[in-house]
Structure formats: structure tokens, C-alpha cells
Structure 1
């Protein structure tokens, strides 16, 4: 009976692999799956005939599979397992007595001798030994160390933030995400314990949009933490105890047309013209998802009615088109030189009649418009008058700005124009400013310089991250005011922030052509010499948990259009790699201005995009999304786009892991010192498996003078501490929800250093939602 059942199973496997393998061969792919299918069928036939040679035939398959797997991927366990796991398990089954006995010989005396196991046992044992050896190696690990010596004796942190405080999103106007605190060190961080936990009460609702996320980094000023929530509550907490001081609900309502429902932070400002202790002497500015900016008294959360319209600035003013839910600010504006400078997020790929991506500076006390920089009209920055409007659908900035007040510049990461994947009829100004870093004059808004990171962007490669500013000591001893700008495509631009000229060289490389009719591609694209851009995908990089879904991913790989980085979108469907989440995203990187090093979390997750002619787009409301997954309509454009991660049959990535790393860079040399896999599949699978494969993440790191980097971000629910020098994990704390925010640290007046992490989950990556603010300290 076992022989019959086994034979039937082998026939099913053989037909599946043989049929799929034949399809793959016709697409120009590997012949192994067709070969394996035939070997399964032959083995099944010999088993039904009770022939012992079936074990020899299967042994040939085991040897061939082992040789093929090692030839393709070397001794990478996570790649070898799917290629050989099922084959080895079935080989072990064939070695059992109830399979071998019917294949053996019967003596004249009636005794049955089971078939000789060794022809099959030897290659199976060899394959198991190879698997065990591969588990001890990590071909994706780059070991190394960053320099420990202090380079800058008097480093520039930016602004005048006390060492124990955290006044802006990146701690200071320089956006370094670096704290000069050193109570928590690489030696004692393993003893870190939870000090307090606060729940905001703002939880994900049934009618929330998919992109409801909790990404806030709290501020710490004096003895208080200030933060916001996804539905635009502002909250003040006692920094020692986590006790709530006040809460303000902006009542921004619900709107299914919003693409994002989040708040990355609030802005703090102390008015030097108002005596301490007076109403609104210190303020917190709250951006909302219904396009308002609200000024609150930092002392009690009451609205500061002297600002703008009874305390509320209406950001939709000056927009020619104003569909509700299409425009809002998800990131905290910057306060500098008596101004508050604001950008705005527009809904990607909704409509060509989006609001403008104008950057505006308002008087921080009155809310009066001081200047506006509209990339569609970049030379005229004087405030528009009533009845005038800004350029419709111009590149916008949804991320965080950095400021160098001494140089008089604000540095702004810019995105693309809607539609992101179609470049037909873009204006000269769009071609110049999209997907770039621009420096504007703080006083006037005039353009000081622009550095574009993608030409004619067809891939949604916005510059997503706040640039980090650092005074960089070059190898010859000269000090250059530098800007470190991470990009979605994995390049790290290290620029002279006075001029935008590269400190680490940037060159142009050839790029694929073949855009859809009416569009074009840039013949070359820029790439920095400091880059985390991955190698182009190959068929052998396709992955799955078994031969079957791996084969399906290989078939899909050949069915899509793909010629490497910057393969243009197509009607057939295109693989976009790095994908839309980016190698780096809004979490940016952290830099240490003393050691002049960088710590980051490069992520690798391929996406696909397929253009859909406007005439073929179904009526509104059917199979459509307003995010990185599903149908994006692009109303008014000749094409919509169907997009999402490149996933297999089991909804896991088609590309092989690792999908996420931690990495360290010596900024003085521009060299990557180490890259280590980051995160486990603990929360990606039905079982809480601890396998450290290196998982995707979205969020950002924080560095301390104690030599520790803190990072959540990964799709397993942990906050982790790393040795900055080596990148090795030192500690992890289990979070009750997804940690897709950037941690921060501060000191209280009783000389205790705290690390705070917000855990609330991320809609796009599917982590556990929550409303937690958690503080850790040493025992």
C-alpha cells in the first residue's frame, strides 16, 4: 500500500515539476525542474513495477539536485533548503523498510530481503552533511569594524539642544539622530529594563485606511515628552514616569481618500519674546491629516489663538484643486529664524489634479506667509496674493527637513510628480526638481542648489529621508560642512552642503531604455560611490519554501520585464528593484559627528509595476488602492498602474533572503565596514520561529556616544541594540506591537538615561497595530 501511495504522490510531483519546468524552459529558464519532474515520474513507474533500480534513479536526482544547488548558490542554507529539502525528505522516505522491502528479493525459502539502501543512502547522507555545513556559514555577512577614535574634538551637533534632551525629529536641526549621552554603553546595554509604559488610547479603527501607521519620534524638552498619534492627538508625558500631563485631539476626522493616516512628530518652539511661564511662551505645532497646522501651548495643550486663524493654519490655501484627503502633512515642520517651514504629502497616483508640492515658510508667531517656493515657478518666492494658486501637481516633500542656520539654508528631500510611473509631458521644472535634494535660503526661500538623484523618475524613487548634516573631516584634515542623503535606490549622497557638490564621487551610468509609447527614459542615471544598491536579480535569486513556489517565482521572473535597476514600467509588467519601499525610507540613517560614522538599515524588497491603459481601468471603487499595493488609478493620466511587492504563491517574497540588514559606514573613507542580517521571521509566520534571515523593515536608527545603536523597524516586533563599532546585536526587547518608528533617548534630572520606543504597527507591512510608548533604562 505504501508503494502505491508513494508512487501516486511521485506522479503528482513529477507532473507538476515537469509541466512547470517545461514552461520555464520555454521562457529561457533553468532545465532542472523539467529534469526533476521526469526523474520523479521515472521513479514512480519503477516503484509501481517493484524495481529496486528506482532507488538508483532517485539517487541520481539527489546527486544532480545537490550539484545544481551548490553551483547556483554555493553554501547558502536559505537558498539550499528550498532546492533540496523536499527531495531529501522523500529520499529518506524511500529508505524506509516499508518502501525497500517490496523492492527486494525473495529467497527460495520465502525470506524477503529489502532492497540495498546504500546507493540512495550515500547521496542523501552527503546532502544532509552539506546542509549542516551550510547552516554554519553566512555568505551574506560582511564582518568588519568602524573606527573607534574620536575625529572631531568639538563636533557640531546643530542648534543648542542640551545633551540630555531631544528637541527635533532628528534631535537637532542637523537631523543626526545622535545623542551625546553615554550612560548606556555597549558593555551594560544587555541589562536594559522597561521603566514605564504608556498607552495613548488612539488605536486602529475598523474604518481606517490601510496605511494607518504609528511612526512618531517623541520630543523631550526639560521634563516633558511631546508626541502625536496617527489620528492627530498631541500628548505630553512626564519624562520620568510616563504619566500623562495633557492630551489634545485635533478632531481631524476620517476620510477614506487619505492615502496615509499617520503622524511622525510635532514641532517645539520657545518664543524668546514671551516671558517664561506666560501662555504660549513655549509651543507645540501639530500637523494634521486634514491639512491643518495647529499651535498648542506646551504647558497645558490649549490652542494658542494668536497664531494664524484662532490657532489654526489652513494648508490647503492657495491650491487650485483641493479634493479632501489628497493633501496633508505627515511630518513635523521645522522651526528656524522665527519661521515655521512646511511641506506636504500628496496622494501618490490618485490624480493629475493633485495639490501643489509648494514649500512654505510662515511667521511662527502670527502664521503670516513669509515666502513660498513652488518648483513650478522656482524663481518667484514672494508670497502669492489672494486668488492666485500654486502650480498643480508639482513634486512635493512629505518627509523631514534639515537646517543649517549658520549657512542660512534649509535642506529638503523632494519626491516626484503624480503619476510616479509615467513621465509623459512633464515640464522642464519637474524634470529638474523631482526626486532631488534642494537647498533653499531660510530668509527668502530662493533656491541655493539642487542635486537630483534620479533623472526622469519612473519608479517612485522619491528622496524619502531627512538629510543628516555633519562637519566632515576629510583625510587631508580639512573640514567640510557635509550633508548625508540616503535614497530609496540605496545610494548615499555625501555632499558639500554649501554647494551640493559631491564629496564622495557621483557618476553617471547607462540605464535601460524601452519606455511605453509617448514616454522616454534617461540614457544614464546617477550613482554614488557610496551605495547600498543591490546587484541585479537573476533567476537563481528566486525563492520559495519549496521547489514548487520557487519554480513559480522563476516563471514570473521571466514573464516580467527586467533589465536591472531602472527598468522602465511596461504594459507587460516590470520588476522594480530596489522596490518602492526603498533601500532607505523616511527613517533615514544616523550619523555620529564625533567618530564621523554612519549607521543604517538597508532593506531589499523587489516590487512589480504594470501599466494599465486608462480605458481598461474599472469603475472607481473596484480593486483599487491608494498605496504601494493594488491598482493606482492616476485619474487624468493615460495609464494607471498595478503595483505591489514581488511575492510568490504563498505571499512571501519571490527573491531570496536576506531582505534586511544593519550596516556601518566610515564617512571619511566612504567605505562600508559591515553588513549583518537584521531581524527574524518571528512575526511573519504562523509559528513564532526565531530564524534570523534578515527581514524587511521601515523605520530608522538612533546612535549614542555610548557606542550603541538602537533600532526597531523590522517586521518582527522587537527593539534592538547594536554595537556601533561591529554591528553585532547586544540586546533585544520584545514589543507588544510593530516598532515602525525611530527611537530616541534622553536624560532626566536624577541622572538616568532613558530610551523610548513607540510601538504601534505599520499598515503596509502588516505588523501588529498598537498605541504603546515604552521607556527603557538601566536597573
Structure 2
């Protein structure tokens, strides 16, 4: 073997690395020039130059390459520490690639070809020092937890406080939020922090309702089953209802409404295919109530004394016999009410109720989902109350005509495009009020043509009189909403201990991160709410509110900065920075723009329809805040056709027909499909409701099921779905992007147990007692089309092993 041949082969690695450094440097230089022209960091430009010089020296077999590279690595470490400190998930992506290449360059067989002519041991020492400093910084960052709060609740109960939600058997779950108060609190205590690790699957049921080839992209299993009447009641995305035995999961009966396609070519006409829940009504629950004369009410004679109310995706409200699953013939027209009545025209799937109705002694009350950003001529957001037995319309509240609740005349149409209520009601029958978390008037990002009536009742909480539908009070949480900040979560009712005594409270979690706490009898704030100045400068034809209300109790994230842009490599991080600096962003409530604006929190919100759960005895709230930035760009109406067709509510241009602008709305993602803003993206937290302070807050969930490599890195991921708490001191959540049901100690947030699921579970789990006297925890795992989690048709119950 010739000496020249061996030397040539030994030069191969330095040559290849030299080429790599040149290419890396060129990419950073090009991106760095653009970023610097946008007013961003000069680091990428300077690092690009340094890498190109080091690459050129390697190609020339010059030992000085090590010294130049050492300067780049050392400067990068100092810069990274200056920007993000010892934050592992931000520090390591900035340095990992440079650190790894530095180690390669220190290998003896790599350096040997460079010794000819200009050997300088200083280069090796300097590079060794730079590598060690970067490595030590990375190791030190492993022991920090930025964004987390460690704390401990020091009580098992607040003296004098109890669960004041409507009575039901302890082992039942009679309403979407367990009770009509939406508290998601169970008095069951068999499962405790000491034994929850012994939870095992008790049974699994497959509904058979799987997404089909003609279904919309957002076919979602968001159902929280009910436990009442000795059965479990489950609804599926295609509006089927299944009654199950709570101990075995065996099917008792099934009802299939045989959905109409409403003259759509197929189900792709629907924006969503969702059933969050059904509603249970039992005449016997009201039989012991006293009439105004002081005597017991006469029993109601009904063919269905126990009813399940089902909202369907084809715009019907159906009453089922809870015992048999047969339609209640005395309700409406043969067991159903046509919700298209007096609504006017809409595209198939463009109007229906995705959420369960509310029930009271005499009424079943329902709102409706309206597809966002299609046009300015969409169905009304009317709330309708029907007689719970006959299906006769008793009153209607239309936020576009809020003072007239008299049942609409035949042939008339409710106010088109008025704000809707697509989420879940809360009900206080003692006070005689319904609580409505309100949306806004579509289109979401342009409000130049909104009416005073629609502005008054949008993006806030409205309390209606149960008997008449008249407004008792209202409180707006986002003025002139241009960011899709509709109130998605069910309001939570509880009695709250305050410095002024115990007050009847309503708590509303919101997309912008505030939790508004009001006296539910009159709408007055219990926790202070302050009007804060916000960015101005709406597009022509629109305006912005000068201030927005923020609660002192909030999980509002800090304003994003360029250094918060993230990526798994310096290159996608740089591209995210370019995107960030190219968009308009003046902080929270930056108005939509033709340039494109960052919306943070994004339209999935810090809190969405999953809402929150409370422990009324301990006086705490258990929440799961998420943080995902979005971006919106207004498109002049004349240019919409050039953008291509609308694909979904977050893909393609939203046409907003009738408005001067359409909009492109999408998550702020890197070219690799990862969030541009740094993790963590999801937490679990507990709030002391007597002090309004966060007790503890921990990042939650892994990227196992959302990254190309299924590694369970605990980065904290978003969750869509709600929580529940128990008297046993254990809380549960299943809505994260990874496929787990998890249990937490409510006192300190420690994760106590997790159960691997066969599909995504963007739902709110629940708990109940079986006929065997055991406490079960149940979750529906069916996935979520919009979030891309694995889809399925699973209902899974857990209980403690013997």
C-alpha cells in the first residue's frame, strides 16, 4: 500500500466535514442576511461566516480550522446561554450539532492529516475547552425546570365547604360535567394516591364507529359517557348511542339515527363529525320537589320517564327511552325535533349541535355549532328551549334579537349570522339560570360589519332565565373579538370561600388564558378583572378595542420574543425566526393583517372546550393549559380564488364570502412540522381558589406519538379535552397528544400512574361505581382528525387490581 494512498484516505473525513461546514455556513449566511435585514439576530450571519472559514481551512488541510471552529462553538455557547439560560429544550438544539462535530474534529485520526505544515497544539486545546464548556452547559440544564412551579397543598378540606352540586348517587355521572354545575368532581374515594398505581384495564368495548372514506377530516371522538340508570351511555362521532353494562362493558342496546347527508355528495360537506355527549333526564329526580302551595308535585305521566337526549350531526334533537333505546314517541315528531326549523339555508354539516343540550325540570335547551369563516350569511346562533316531554318550543333566545324570546312565528327566520353557543351549558335551577359560554359573529378575523347586538353578547358569558330565556346578566371577556376567542369550555359552578364570605361563583376558562370568576347570581367579578391596553391598527373597514379584560387569575403566557423561536436544529430555528420577524406581532391581541399576524395564544386556546375541574371541598381548580401559536393572514376578496380551495378550518383560505377579506389561519410551525415556539407546550396545574394563586404547575405529556421517532421525551405537549378530580385526592387527564390516560396527586401534581391507550383520547374521562361496588375510571379513545392523533373506536374502563 502506498503512503500517498493511505494519506489520501485519511484526508477523506476532513474533506467531507469541510464540505459540510461550507454548506452549513452558506445556509446560515443566506438565512442570517435575511434575518438581519428584518431586524433579527446577527448570530446566524456571523456563525455562517465562521463555519465557512473553518470549512475552507479543512479543505486546505490547515490545522487552524480547529481554532476557528472553537471560536464558533464557544461564541455559540455564550450566545445560547445569554438568550435562554440553562433551559435544556432550548439550549441543546442550538448547540447539539456544533458540539457533535466538535467532538469529531478532536478525534486523533481526524486531526492527523492536518498536522502537516502548520501543526499548532493550541487549536486542539482551544477546541477541547469549547467542547467541554458546551457539554457542561448542556449537563447543567438537565437539572432546571423553567416554567414549572413546585408546591404543595397543605389541606384536605376548607372548613365549612362542601360539594353543593345537584344531588345524585355518589357513584353516578349524570351530566357531561358530572353535574349540571359542570364541576367534574366525583365524591368517590376508593382510588387514592396510595393505590392508583394498581389501576388495570377492567374491560374494553369497540363501538364499531370508525372514520370512513367520505368523512370530514375532523372526525373526532370527544365523548364523555354518562353513568345513570344503572347503565353507561356512550355516543359516537356518527351520532350513535350505545348503552353498556358498567361492570362488563357488554352492549345492552344501541340506537343508530341513520344520518342524512342533507343532499351533500358525501360527508365531506361536514366541517366536523363530533358528538361530545348526550343528556340524561329523569322525571323521578323532580318528583319530591315542593310546589308553590307546599305540596309535592304530581308525578309526570310519560312514555319515557327516563330519557336520553341526542343531538345529531344532521341537525335533529332526538329523545330516547333510557331503558330501551327506543325513540320517545311523545317528543316532537315521533321522538325528534327538526332543528333546521326557522334557521334558513346552510351547507350540509354547517349547522348542528356538537355538544349535549342542557336539561331542567321542564326544558331541554340546545345551542348549535356554526362552521367558521365560510360566509357572512350563516345560520343563527339561537338558543332554543323545548318542553322536555312534548318537544314543543317554549322560548328562543337569539343574540341578534336578544330581547324577544317569544317562540318564533312560522315562516320567520332567526337572525342570520348571530353569535352562537356551541359548547356546554351550566345550569343552576335553584337560582333559575342557564350559563352560556358564547362565541362570536363569523367571520372570526374581520368584524367591520358586526351589529351592536352581536357585539354585546359575543365572546363572553351570558346568563339566561330558565323559565323565560330573558337575559339576567352578561359579561364580555373579549371585546370586538378578532382572534376566535370564543368561550369554549363549560362554565363551572361552585360555592367559593372569599374574604367577604361564601359566594355562589361561576368560573369560566378561556382561550386567552384568563379564568374569570364571577358571582353567578349577578355577574359581578369575585376575582378582579382589569382592562389592559392592547395593540391597535386594524385593517381598513375594521377597528379594535383599545383595551381587553384580563382576570387576576390567569395562565396568560409571556409575550413571545425572537429568542423563543425553536427548532431541533439551528436551521429550522433560523427559519422560524425569519417567519416570526416577517409577521406582525405586538403581543397578545395583535390585530389580523394583510402582512400576516401571530396569534398567541392561538385559536385552540390556553383552555378550549375541555374546560376545567374543581374540588369544592379543597377549594382548588385542576387545569391543563396549552400553548400553541397560530398565524393569520387576511386575503383581499379579489385574491381568494388564486389561493386554492378551503380544505378545513385551519387549511387553505377561509373564504368569508360577503366580507372584504378571507383569511389563511394555521399553526406557527417550522418546516419540519414542529411548533416554532419553544416547549413546553402543555402543562397540568392546580390553583388555590381561596387565594387565586397557582399551587403547582408541571409540564405534561411526551412527543412519543407526534414525532418521527417514537421516543417518549417529556417535553410537555398540548392537550385537547378536560380533567376530573375526586374526593380521593386523585385527578385524571387523557387529552394529550400522546396516547395515555394519566393520574395525578392533586396536592403536588406528581404523576402517579399512566395507562397506555390504543388511540388518541382527546376527550374528558369520567369515573363511576359499578354494581360490584368498585370505582371505575373510563375513557373514550377514538382520536382526533384535526390533531392527527391515531383514530379508533375504544371505550376502556379501569379499576384497581384485586
TM-score range, shorter chain: over 0.9
The alignment partner of 1:440 has SS state of strand
Matches of 2:580 and 2:254, distance apart in 1 = 51
Q: CA deviation at 1:320?
A: 3.0
Matches of 1:614 and 1:352, distance apart in 2 = 13
Matches of 2:20 and 2:585, distance apart in 1 = 36
- Identify the residue that residue 172 of structure 1 maps to in structure 2: 179
Q: Out of 750, 759, 769, which is 2:772 matched to?
A: 750
Q: Using a 3 Å threshold, how does the CA distance of structure 1 residues 364 and 277 change in structure 2: closer, same or farther?
A: closer
Which consecutive residues of structure 2, in runs of 5 or more, have no partner in the other structure?
1-11, 262-266, 288-297
Higher mean alpha-carbon deviation, 89-98 vs 717-726, is at 89-98
Q: CA deviation at 1:628?
A: 2.9
The reply to whether residue 250 of structure 1 matches residue 257 of structure 2 is: yes
- Identify the residue that residue 395 of structure 1 maps to in structure 2: 419
The reply to whether residue 531 of structure 1 matches residue 554 of structure 2 is: yes
CA-based RMSD of the aligned residues comes to 1.7
- Identify the residue that residue 342 of structure 1 maps to in structure 2: 366
Which consecutive residues of structure 1, in runs of 5 or more, have no partner in the other structure?
none
- Identify the residue that residue 295 of structure 2 maps to in structure 1: none
- Identify the residue that residue 181 of structure 1 maps to in structure 2: 188
Q: Out of 75, 79, 83, which is 1:68 matched to?
A: 79
How does 1:576-587 map onto structure 2 within 5 Å? Answer: 576-587=599-610
Q: CA deviation at 1:323?
A: 3.2
Preserved contact between residue 58 and residue 65 of structure 2 (Cα < 8 Å) = yes
The alignment partner of 1:102 has SS state of helix
Preserved contact between residue 100 and residue 114 of structure 1 (Cα < 8 Å) = no
Matches of 1:485 and 1:570, distance apart in 2 = 29
Preserved contact between residue 578 and residue 604 of structure 1 (Cα < 8 Å) = yes
How does 1:139-288 map onto structure 2 within 5 Å? Answer: 139-151=146-158, 153=160, 155-254=162-261, 255-272=267-284, 279-288=303-312
The reply to whether residue 36 of structure 1 matches residue 47 of structure 2 is: yes
Q: Give per-residue Cα distances to partners, 1:141-178, cap 9 Å, x unaligned.
A: 11112342312546244222111100000011100000
Question: How many pairs does the alignment contain?
Answer: 773
Matches of 1:25 and 1:106, distance apart in 2 = 38
Matches of 1:667 and 1:730, distance apart in 2 = 23
Higher mean alpha-carbon deviation, 740-749 vs 488-497, is at 740-749
The reply to whether residue 510 of structure 1 matches residue 533 of structure 2 is: yes
Matches of 2:752 and 2:676, distance apart in 1 = 31
- Identify the residue that residue 19 of structure 1 maps to in structure 2: 30
Q: CA deviation at 1:742?
A: 0.3
TM-score by length of 1: 0.97
- Identify the residue that residue 618 of structure 1 maps to in structure 2: 641
Matches of 1:275 and 1:492, distance apart in 2 = 41
Q: CA deviation at 1:276?
A: 11
Preserved contact between residue 682 and residue 688 of structure 1 (Cα < 8 Å) = yes
Q: Give per-residue Cα distances to partners, 1:267-312, cap 9 Å, x unaligned.
A: 1111348989984221111100111011111111111111001111
- Identify the residue that residue 104 of structure 2 maps to in structure 1: 93
Matches of 1:702 and 1:116, distance apart in 2 = 59
The alignment partner of 1:390 has SS state of coil
Preserved contact between residue 19 and residue 59 of structure 2 (Cα < 8 Å) = no
The alignment partner of 1:286 has SS state of strand
The alignment partner of 2:595 has SS state of coil
Q: Out of 627, 630, 644, which is 2:666 matched to?
A: 644
The reply to whether residue 309 of structure 1 matches residue 333 of structure 2 is: yes
Matches of 1:501 and 1:130, distance apart in 2 = 50
Matches of 1:420 and 1:40, distance apart in 2 = 46
Matches of 1:147 and 1:374, distance apart in 2 = 47
Higher mean alpha-carbon deviation, 443-452 vs 152-161, is at 152-161
- Identify the residue that residue 491 of structure 1 maps to in structure 2: 514
Preserved contact between residue 283 and residue 361 of structure 2 (Cα < 8 Å) = no
Preserved contact between residue 699 and residue 713 of structure 1 (Cα < 8 Å) = yes
Matches of 1:398 and 1:428, distance apart in 2 = 21
Q: Using a 3 Å threshold, how does the CA distance of structure 1 residues 640 and 116 change in structure 2: closer, same or farther?
A: closer
Q: Give per-residue Cα distances to partners, 1:214-272, cap 9 Å, x unaligned.
A: 00000001320011000010000001110000111111145322211010000111134
Preserved contact between residue 302 and residue 389 of structure 2 (Cα < 8 Å) = no
Matches of 1:113 and 1:580, distance apart in 2 = 57
Q: Give per-residue Cα distances to partners, 1:409-433, cap 9 Å, x unaligned.
A: 0000000111010011211111111
- Identify the residue that residue 457 of structure 1 maps to in structure 2: 481
Preserved contact between residue 192 and residue 776 of structure 1 (Cα < 8 Å) = yes
- Identify the residue that residue 361 of structure 1 maps to in structure 2: 385
Preserved contact between residue 580 and residue 628 of structure 1 (Cα < 8 Å) = no
The alignment partner of 1:618 has SS state of helix
Matches of 1:116 and 1:413, distance apart in 2 = 65
Preserved contact between residue 583 and residue 602 of structure 1 (Cα < 8 Å) = yes
- Identify the residue that residue 54 of structure 1 maps to in structure 2: 65
- Identify the residue that residue 679 of structure 1 maps to in structure 2: 701
Q: Out of 743, 748, 753, which is 1:721 matched to?
A: 743
Matches of 1:520 and 1:278, distance apart in 2 = 53
Preserved contact between residue 466 and residue 586 of structure 1 (Cα < 8 Å) = yes
Q: CA deviation at 1:126?
A: 1.7
